[in-house]
Amino acid sequence: MTTADWALVISLCSVVVSLAGFVWNVWSKFIYPRAKVRSYIAVMLIFDGDGSPARKTIQLSATNYGPTDITLRGHQAKRRQGFLWFRRNRELALINPIAHPDSTTTTGWFAPGFPKKLAVGEGVDVYFSADAPKRWVEDGGLYYFGFSDTFGRLHWCSRANARKFRADVEEDFGAVEPRRSGPLETIKAGATQGWKKVVASVVARTAPIKARFCRKAKARYLSCKRWRFCNRCASITAHIRANVTDPNE
């Protein structure tokens, strides 16, 4: 191909990319606009103003940044699940909220007022008891928190917010993050398990052959008339000798 041919190919590719971007912008902003929801979770302090010590509670909030209204169905959480897009929303968890920051009783899997419709610029808050985050970290390994809408989309908190909340939980509540095995440990464990399966399969397949050989060796040992002086019989394994009686006795 000449230089002119390459220039034509590159120009056609540029036209296709530009057309795709134009169609996507028109579709996402005018035909089917989607609201952008920002989720945020933090450890909050409650001051009563009467000199009593401050109390802690967990606040999960969501704000609708527009351009359209949105209806949130409920709140959810998930673990860290890698960078692969098809693994990002697997193993979702429901966490039990409380009615308000001063309450100690849970309200079920859905907070009061949900499903909640949010206009542009409106927000909603969900509260959790102070002893819940330690169980989230140690028992469930939860890392990201957010909301789901009526279209099935999930709106998670940012990675920086999740990292900051995990550090606060470990510092304030003494939570211990479960140890995660590294890539080398995972590969080593998988190789060891695979090797054990191979060994077990080989042993299971060779067991009938070994048993047949032992029966033949024992029969040869007993049928030999010069069994006391036969070098061939003397080379039979010890466990066969132990189970053979003297034919002269």
| 166 shares its domain with 188 | no
Q: Does 195 lie in the same domain as 128?
A: no
For residue 2, the one-letter residue type is T
pLDDT tens digits, 215-231: 666 565 555 544 444 44
Mean pLDDT of the chain: 79
- Domain encompassing residue 211: 183-242
Co-location of 199 and 224 in the same domain? yes
Q: Provide CB contacts within 8 A for 232, sequence distance 6+.
A: 220, 224
Q: What pLDDT does 223 receive?
A: 57
pLDDT at 42 (0 to 100):
94
Whether residue 10 lies inside any domain: the answer is no
**What value does the mean pLDDT take over residues 47-57?**
82
Q: Looking at the whole model, is its pTM more than 0.75?
A: no
Mark whether 55 and 147 lie in a shared domain.
Answer: yes
Mean pLDDT of 28-56: 83
Query: What pLDDT, on a 0 to 100 scale, did the predictor assign at position 220?
Result: 59
Position 145 in a domain? yes
Which pairs count as long-range contacts for 87-94, CB under 8 Å and 24+ apart, including other chains? 89/154, 92/154, 93/140, 93/142
What is the per-residue pLDDT for 114? 87
